[in-house]
């Protein structure tokens, strides 16, 4: 049975970012996560990661479609 929760290393690999960047996303609240175990290991639910990715797609789409987004894209 596949795991419902992902360690931050797997989140970082999925998003092609560093572990520090994944940790920053969690600490900022942009990517909801929980701390589990005695050492407080962060875990991200797969559905939360997918929802984050979809939000980022939507934000990117909005920024590209806005007049300011076109200027930034051409710069």
Give per-residue pLDDT as tens, 17-54.
999 999 999 999 999 999 999 999 999 999 999 999 99
At residue 68, the pLDDT reads 72
CA 71 distance to own-chain centroid: 26
Coil vs helix vs strand at 34: strand
How many residues are there in the chain?
75
pLDDT band at 6 (very low <50, low <70, confident <90, very high): very high
- Helical (H) or strand (E) element with 44: strand 41-45
Contacts 24+ apart (CB under 8 A), 62-71: none
Compute the distance between CA of residue 15 and CA of residue 53 in angstroms, rounded to an integer.
9
């Amino acid at each position: 049975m596949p795991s419902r929760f992902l360690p931050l290393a797997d989140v970082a690999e999925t998003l092609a970012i560093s572990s520090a960047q994944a940790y920053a996303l969690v600490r900022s609240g942009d990517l909801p996560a929980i701390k589990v175990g005695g050492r407080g290991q962060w875990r991200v639910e797969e559905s939360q990661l997918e929802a984050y990715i979809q939000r980022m797609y939507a934000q990117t789409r909005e920024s590209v479609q806005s007049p300011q987004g076109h200027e930034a894209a051409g710069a």
